[in-house]
Amino acid sequence: MRSSLLGAMRAVFVRELLLFWRRRTEVANVLVFFVIVTTLFPLAVGPERLELAHIAPGVLWVAALLATTLSLTQLFIIDYTEGSLDQLLLSPYPLTALVFAKLAAHWVLTGLPLALLSPLLAVQMALPDKAMPTLVLSLLLGTPVLTLIGAIPAALTLGVRGGGVLVSLLVLPLYTPVLIFGAEAVAAAAGQEFAATAHLSLLAAFLVLALAFAPLACASALRVSLD
């Protein structure tokens, strides 16, 4: 039974990767949005390196947060319109596990590229080199939390007119703690090498909590939306 469940999760994960690859323009839109937002700030603020370095942690994290929010609207809607979600509900395997596999694939194609791309954009924001590893690590810890939390309102608003705006309104307040500790971790690392440990530990705690509860809540929200 356990091997069958793992096989079903792997099948969902691979299927989502293939579907997202076919819609790779949507994935590219997330990265382009991230690049544009972070590029506009140096143009608006000016070339002063100290000022750019001071705002860099907040700018990079806000841009990553907004880019992740942008990708949430397409998380379930296509499966919903095609009837694929009904098949997941009828599956003999736990919906929570299948939803987790789906969210993992979504993060691999959205959150992971954002984290890997961030050092290149941090250079134009004059972020100190010693803060680069913390920036990447904070995004690797924080973007899965954003995906997991954001999936819940995305599931609740399926079929609702103007659901994308509603998702943003619901999810942005929930993102605030992750944004604060993520940006503070990078800012602390820019000042002192080991000062970011506490903030990263809190991000890791958020990730553990989100992994434990978000897939279950998302599965329940999908059942409510499809009833």
Burial of 83 (C-beta count, 10 Å sphere; 0-12/13-18/19+): exposed
Number of domains in the chain: 1
- Residue 142 confidence (pLDDT): 95
- Residue 24 confidence (pLDDT): 73
Report pLDDT digits (tens) over 137-163. Answer: 999 999 999 999 999 988 888 766 656
The pTM of this model reads: 0.90
- Residue 18 confidence (pLDDT): 83
Q: Which residues does the chain have with pLDDT short of 70?
A: 1-3, 159-164, 192-194
Query: What residues make up the domain containing 102?
Result: 2-226
Contact of 185 with 200, CB cutoff 8 Å: yes
Report pLDDT digits (tens) over 162-173. Answer: 566 777 788 888
| CA atoms of 118 and 38, how far apart (whole Å) | 9
- Residue 193 confidence (pLDDT): 56
- Residue 182 confidence (pLDDT): 94
Q: Reduce the secondary structure of the chain to three states and give it as a string.
A: CHHHHHHHHHHHHHHHHHHHHHCHHHHHHHHHHHHHHHHHHHHHHCCCHHHHHHHHHHHHHHHHHHHHHHHHCCCCHHHHHHCHHHHHHHCCCCHHHHHHHHHHHHHHHCHHHHHHHHHHHHHHCCCCHHHHHHHHHHHHHHHHHHHHHHHHHHHHCCCCCCHHHHHHHHHHHHHHHHHHHHHHHHHHHHHCCCCCHHHHHHHHHHHHHHHHHHHHHHHHHHHHHHC
- Residue 170 confidence (pLDDT): 82
Report pLDDT digits (tens) over 1-28. Answer: 556 888 888 888 888 888 777 777 777 8
